[in-house]
Structure 1
Amino acid sequence: MSPTDTDALAKDLLDYIDASPTPYHAVRETARRLTQAGYRALDEREPWTLKPGERVFVTRGDTSIAAFQLGTAPVDRAGFRLVGSHTDSPNLRLKPNATVTKNGYQQLGVEIYGGVLLHTWTDRDLSLAGRIMVMAGGKPQGHLVDFRRPLLRVPNLAIHLNRGVNTDGLKLNAQDHMVPVLGLESAGAVDLRALLVAELAKGGVKAEAGDILGYDLCLYDLQPSIRSGAHGEFLHAPRLDNLASCHAALSALLSGNEKREATSGVVLFDHEEVGSRSAQGAASPFLRTLLERFTLALSDGKPDSFHRAIANSFLVSADMAHAVHPNYASLHEPKHQPHMGAGPVIKSNVNQSYATDGETWAYFTSLCREAGVTPQHFVTRTDLGCGSTIGPISAGQLGIRTVDVGNPMLSMHSIREMACATDVAQMVAVLRQLFK
């Protein structure tokens, strides 16, 4: 792959991340790109008429999306070639009764979503984005908002009042210390619903405070995603875990206009960071339902068609991986220390926190060879716990052969994470081979 392609894909990733401050916006941006590429939306509530070669996508809950290029061969024979990832990232989210007034400040109460590195959210210019449910035409309708301006801040405590912070560590209580400041009481009371109504109006949605029935609103850092490093080799951005994998999967699916024998698909789930147990998470029937419907439309119609299709299928669970940290190398398994810029990482765990086994490891390695890429390997230290992914969940739901992979990164679960620009193109190249 030429340096131009590498640079273009890295820039496109940063644009994708900046357009996606929340899972709602990530799904909207993904749907926009799919529509632009000729994919049509399907509604789960409606009957489907499908034919080989079609390009379609389905959303669920406004935060999960699945896209497919239907194969030219019956799916019971050719199977599915799938990449699974997730749209959510750890962050702070507004509570239902969010308004807090304390010591002359107006604040907004937040819940901690996922495994947040709390200290990285302090002293940041934070904004607010997400979905607001409004009564319209006698029923609730969802509208996306993004304030796109500095609105909130979680101020740190001065060192003069916390002398041991640099030696004893910063200790933050999620309930007491992570409440962001919205304004000063002396400057005038701020009504949260009035603030939301004003933001809706900017998007052309007319509503009154009483029309707001609910919301799902996330805080995010306003600083744009950038390239960095002496040679521009690094990417600094929020939500690299796991929008970088979503972007790689989508880019691979949309590359080329050739017909594909096997049905190729990308499914981007919500709620991975909190266990995937939701109507649109990997533990839900979302993917299985879609595959069953495609099998009914694109197979010989025999009772065992779906089971034969699954037996002929393969899933790549794509989620970012831990690069070796130069200042904490002792926390990494000595023989499995992935480096940024050195290619995709195959993640293994014999206790099934990852779904990789020898067969699926071998298959992904063969794809890497076809793409001219050398894979790396990650295993956590034997005396440390291991995180997990959608891989084991999806494999358990479907009985599908699955491998867990990801690009190496640092600062995982920070408000601002770090990856390598050249790794973007390498992962896309391997996933293209999967879909060929």
Structure 2
Amino acid sequence: MTQPTIVFSPLQAGVPAAGGALEVLVRVQAPDRPTDLATAHLPKRLALVVDRSGSMNGQPLQEALRCVTHIASHLTSQDALALVVYDDKVDTLLPLQPMRSTDAVAKAVAGVEAGGMTNLHGGWLAGAQQLEGGTEQTVSRVILLSDGQANHGETDLSAIEAQCREWLGRGVSTTTVGLGRGFNEDLMIGMARAGGGQNYYGETAADLYDSFDEELALLQAMYLRQVGLKLLPAAGVIVEMISPAQQLADGSWRMTDLAWGAEAWVAVRLHLSPGMAGQTRDLLAASVSGTALDGTQLQAHAPVLQLPVLDAAAMQALPRNETAYTRLEELAFAKASEHLRQLAKEGDRQATQQALDVLEKRFGHHPWLSAKIKQLRQLADEDSEMMAKEVRYSMMRMSRRLVSKEEMAYEGDETHVSESVMPSFMRKKVSEGKGKKREV
């Protein structure tokens, strides 16, 4: 199988003789999907885990069950599905079985009623256990839907995240879906990050249709899983990770699962000792490893990043790399938004608007960020609680998103851009918590 490619994109194509810092994108690119795999169906093993606790009574539970039937309707006979529901008790309504008909799913959800407390961990664990023993030629993923706070069974975030990481190592990943208004976004996002999956949210099933279509499209396009990036700085160079990447025990950095034709990336800051102008300097080497869908272990190495050492005047005259600049701005926006999220959670509307003014002044030149700020202003006026969630999910999307290897300039909300132009999991949306089913 064709190996991935590592591309370095420094913000400027030179380093200062006086020393200092240089930001660099490290881009891991997948090959385009081979023509013989263009229509091949990747078997998926999904465990849908649904919160039926008391807070889900009424419309929230009905929305969650609509999500279940929506996902089931998009599976084929080559896929397998399990259905688990939980409150303070956990019930497996459908053990893992081939998806031959949606009738069994419809029958199973028809009798689901809201119950007691929220044993979120217990429900998730039961879903993971349904997927145990899968082969490397399939994708096994828990999709957890919840509207609430874990208040029964294991509730410690670090302990739950540790188990998500453990199951990821066993081939079972976790995607989380926050439904409604009261869910704990930190827990849901933390589980998805540790479990190697995606994180979505929405108030209704209709809000989430686009997200589910995105999730299934990503699973179908999967090229490389459990991707690890190793960075080896040259002498006189210290590497600072800017992206919110998780460092593993072997020193490598966990990256997003990689789809055919897509690019995963991180941004780093190289802290440089002084050098001699006129020389060419070694800066950074990198290697990447991961598991292909046929179980093959793939590894690729990048040529050492080398740049000329320049005096201050020559550095000043260098143009910037626009791809690196744009993504660094997105990361800066995500970090700057944390204060905005806290103000929104506190319900301080005046301070929230002032913080948005600051962000507008700083990032208004960036089309996607400007559109995000406009949408956040509207949410700040209407619903500060949901604004806080939107900020959190937008922060994660910007920091960890897959992109096209030939990413286009942003010209507006890309939710409904044709799939032939851009796969749904690469799109830039104005709102992470809204979307509707695309016409097919």
Return the TM-score normalized by structure 1: 0.28
Return the TM-score normalized by structure 2: 0.28
